[in-house]
């Protein structure tokens, strides 16, 4: 016999059916997105902060780095977007840690829903926010003079690449959110890890200008591969090698952190 509860069909083993699990994941993702309406300050992180980064890097550093803000924008905008995408995965860790410490997962656990629905729903919603911030920064770049010479296909492929990479990195954010004792520790760990990785890559400067020992690291840095691939897709430059390495890094990060994150999640929830 099949036991059923309102809106959540169960199998005889008590597991939620796959179709119901997908609907519940979508519901939890929508919950996270709707929360922005009740907490408008999130718009600062996902809208104002990306805009601020574009203006600061372009007009404060542009003249020194490339001779003019416009010239530096052509090189740096893809790197700025990559950096913002990686920093925003910290928000996933913060949100999960907050829900965990406030007992939200304890309340959800009492409902007949898939245990993974709140977790995957949160990641899905945050990926939608990543997409919003990426498109916003590209639109601002176009206003400031940036040109997507790689065409619409390059823009779509580059955006998809960022979403895929962010999805992989999100599993490391889940692990941090589950293991950290509070939000302050999440922020400290995120900035300690992401900040140096992004600034020791080709996101903002040409790797050849770095000291030799730092070039060795930058050449294998996943942010370098992602920045070069995204830049190549937007501007029509070299894509093959950095794109392949970006996808390999994404697969490797997901393969390592997905099982660790799920183990920590099941231990907590």
**196 in any annotated domain:** yes
State the helix-helix crossing angle for 69-101 and 222-235, rounded to 10 degrees.
130
**40 in any annotated domain:** yes
Name beta bridge partners: 9: 4
**10 in any annotated domain:** no
Which residues constitute the domain of residue 130?
A: 16-268
- Residues 224/202, Cβ–Cβ less than 8 Å: yes
**216 in any annotated domain:** yes
Q: What is the pLDDT along the chain (269 residues), one digit of tens a residue?
A: 344 344 445 443 346 666 666 777 777 777 777 777 777 676 777 788 888 889 988 998 888 888 888 889 999 999 999 999 998 888 888 888 887 777 776 676 666 677 777 788 888 888 988 899 999 999 999 999 999 998 899 999 999 999 999 999 999 998 988 888 777 778 777 778 888 899 999 999 999 889 999 999 999 999 999 999 999 999 988 899 999 999 999 999 999 999 999 898 888 76
**221 in any annotated domain:** yes
Number of domains in the chain: 1
**7 in any annotated domain:** no
**249 in any annotated domain:** yes
CA dist 194 → 69, 70, 100, 109 (Å): 25, 27, 23, 32
**1 in any annotated domain:** no
């Amino acid at each position: 016999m099949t036991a059923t509860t309102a809106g959540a069909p169960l199998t005889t083993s008590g597991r939620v059916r796959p179709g119901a699990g997908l609907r519940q994941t979508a519901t939890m993702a929508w919950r996270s997105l709707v929360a922005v309406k009740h907490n408008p300050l999130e718009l600062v992180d996902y809208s104002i902060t990306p805009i601020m980064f574009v203006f600061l890097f372009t007009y404060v550093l542009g003249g020194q780095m490339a001779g003019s803000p416009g010239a530096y924008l052509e090189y740096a905008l893809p790197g700025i977007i990559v950096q913002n995408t990686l920093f925003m995965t910290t928000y996933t860790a913060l949100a999960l840690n907050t829900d965990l410490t406030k007992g939200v997962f304890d309340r959800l656990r009492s409902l007949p829903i898939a245990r993974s629905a709140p977790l995957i729903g949160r990641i899905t919603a945050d990926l939608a926010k990543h997409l919003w911030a990426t498109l916003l920064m590209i639109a601002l770049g176009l206003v400031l003079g940036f040109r997507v010479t790689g065409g619409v296909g390059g823009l779509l492929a580059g955006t998809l690449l960022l979403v895929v990479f962010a999805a992989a990195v999100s599993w490391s954010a889940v692990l941090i959110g589950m293991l950290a004792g509070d939000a302050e520790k999440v922020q400290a760990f995120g900035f300690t890890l992401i900040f140096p990785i992004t600034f020791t890559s080709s996101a903002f400067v040409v790797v050849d200008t770095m000291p030799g020992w730092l070039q060795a690291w930058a050449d294998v840095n996943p942010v370098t591969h992602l920045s070069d691939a995204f830049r190549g897709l937007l501007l029509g430059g070299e894509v093959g090698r950095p794109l392949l390495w970006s996808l390999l890094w994404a697969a490797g990060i997901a393969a390592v952190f997905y099982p660790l994150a799920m183990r920590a999640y099941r231990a907590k929830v």
